[in-house]
């Protein structure tokens, strides 16, 4: 399955390969690997290619050393998911046009089940940036992960607010996952991955950003989250495209009010007029999403982690998805007996909840 995912990813880097062709050829050949290796004669007989397109693909394929490409991607810490991968995000799979391939840096395993997208203007005002950062902080403290696009302005502020509260965040790029855009966000993207979040893209490594990629990227942002918040947006902003996509998928749309004298307020105010929930802080978001249960809001208990073993296990767990003890053991962080003992200690402190053989964090915070 992993190998086929890589071949599907490679197919999408080829010239003249429109998605409908990939889908039809895979349906005919059965697997992406067979589709990649199809002969020129098979390509022509499929009826999906003009002669010049088949020739162009064959020339492209001759220049590719498959094992070298796959090894390079793996060395860069890039993994690959397809729609059939168990790890593929469930909410994203439900949208009308889910990406057939996702390139990932980081981990989806540690993300909580509750995700909120925060989007807005690249040319954000100080007010907008402050609000986005505060929302990121509030929601991270409540055990909610933040989804955004790592763009300048609102996106970056939301990611940073989340990280300041040691929360998990997802950055969805409109370029290849190994391309840093904007360039000043290199450290931000590295921190997102290093702290248990992830960076993702549907575009193959090496793909440079293009204007048409960003509206397509927005459907992934909306599709990953249960709700989308628009902080600042002009009348024709891409953030409003994201909000429309969220509405099309039956997700919550929320908006932050701003000054009537600011052009950046026109987008959120329009959404509010259309019935979007008004947001001033994280509590408003939790209420709009029906997440007012005690488990959703983090209570600052100040419970200490006593040793390095407890810190290691704590970092392996999330407040959303429960992880099986076998999965925790497979990380190699602790040997089996020590892992069991440490989980028991954290459970007795009230920091870990257990369901069968699966474990997750409670809503309590810790002191390092």
Reported as a pLDDT band with limits 50, 70 and 90, residue 298 is: very low
The answer for residues whose C-beta is within 8 angstroms of residue 9's C-beta and 6 or more apart is 80, 101, 103, 204
pLDDT for res 297? 42
Helix (H) or strand (E) holding 159: helix 154-164
Give the model confidence (pLDDT) of 121-134 as tens digits.
999 999 999 999 99
pLDDT for res 13? 73
Give the model confidence (pLDDT) of 18-52 as tens digits.
555 666 666 566 677 888 888 888 888 887 778 88
- CA 160 – CA 149 distance, rounded (Å): 12
Give the model confidence (pLDDT) of 98-117 as tens digits.
998 899 999 898 889 899 99
Instruction: State the CB neighbour count (10 A cutoff) for residue 309.
Output: 18
Q: pTM for this structure?
A: 0.75
User: What's the chain's average pLDDT?
Assistant: 87
Domains and CATH numbers, the chain: 2-75 (1.10.150), 105-288 (3.40.50.450), 299-367 (1.10.10.10)
Q: Helix, strand or coil for residue 31?
A: coil
Mean pLDDT in residue range 325-353: 87
pLDDT for res 296? 36
Give the model confidence (pLDDT) of 47-101 as tens digits.
777 888 888 888 888 888 888 988 998 899 999 998 888 899 999 999 999 998 8
Residue 119 has pLDDT above 90, yes or no: yes
Cα radius of gyration (the chain): 22
- CA 309 – CA 287 distance, rounded (Å): 36
- CA 104 – CA 201 distance, rounded (Å): 7
User: Taking a C-beta distance cutoff of 8 angstroms, is the pair 104, 281 a contact?
Assistant: no
- CA 172 – CA 161 distance, rounded (Å): 17
Give the model confidence (pLDDT) of 162-200 as tens digits.
999 999 999 999 999 999 999 999 999 999 999 999 999
Residue 291 has pLDDT above 70, yes or no: yes
Tell me which residue has tokens 């490594």.
205
DSSP letter, residue 95: S
- The tokens of 233 are what? 């947006």
pLDDT for res 301? 44
- The tokens of 315 are what? 């970092």
pLDDT for res 314? 85
pLDDT for res 104? 95
């Amino acid at each position: 399955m992993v190998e086929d995912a890589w071949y599907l990813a490679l197919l999408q880097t080829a010239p003249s390969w429109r998605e409908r062709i990939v889908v039809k050829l895979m349906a005919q050949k059965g697997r992406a690997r067979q589709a990649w290796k199809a002969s020129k004669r098979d390509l022509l007989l499929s009826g999906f290619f003009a002669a010049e397109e088949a020739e162009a693909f064959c020339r492209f394929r001759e220049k590719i050393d498959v094992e070298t490409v796959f090894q390079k991607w793996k060395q860069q810490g890039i993994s690959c998911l397809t729609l059939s991968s168990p790890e593929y995000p469930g909410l994203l799979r439900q949208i009308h046009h889910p990406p057939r391939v996702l390139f990932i840096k980081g981990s989806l395993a540690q993300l909580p089940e509750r995700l909120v997208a925060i989007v807005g203007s690249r040319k954000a005002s100080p007010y907008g940036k402050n609000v986005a950062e505060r929302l990121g902080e509030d929601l991270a403290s409540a055990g909610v992960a933040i989804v955004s696009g790592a763009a300048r302005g609102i996106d970056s502020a939301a990611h940073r607010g989340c990280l300041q509260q040691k929360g998990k965040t997802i950055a969805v790029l409109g370029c290849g996952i190994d391309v840093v855009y904007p360039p000043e966000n290199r450290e931000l993207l590295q921190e997102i991955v290093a702290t248990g979040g992830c960076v993702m893209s549907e575009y193959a490594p090496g793909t440079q950003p293009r204007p048409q990629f960003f509206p397509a990227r927005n459907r992934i942002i909306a599709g990953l989250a249960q709700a989308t918040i628009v902080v600042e947006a002009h009348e024709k902003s891409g953030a409003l495209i994201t909000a429309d996509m969220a509405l099309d998928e039956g997700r919550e749309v929320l908006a932050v009010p701003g000054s009537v004298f600011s052009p950046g307020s026109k987008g959120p105010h329009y959404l509010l007029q259309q019935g979007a929930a008004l947001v001033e802080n994280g509590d408003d978001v939790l209420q709009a999403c029906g997440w007012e249960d005690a488990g959703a809001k983090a209570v600052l208990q100040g419970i200490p982690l006593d040793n390095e073993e407890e810190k290691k296990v704590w970092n392996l767990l999330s407040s959303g998805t429960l992880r099986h003890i076998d999965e925790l053991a497979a990380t190699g962080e602790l040997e089996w007996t020590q892992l069991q003992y440490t989980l028991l200690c954290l459970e007795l402190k009230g920091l870990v909840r257990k369901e069968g053989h699966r474990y997750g964090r409670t809503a309590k915070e810790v002191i390092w």
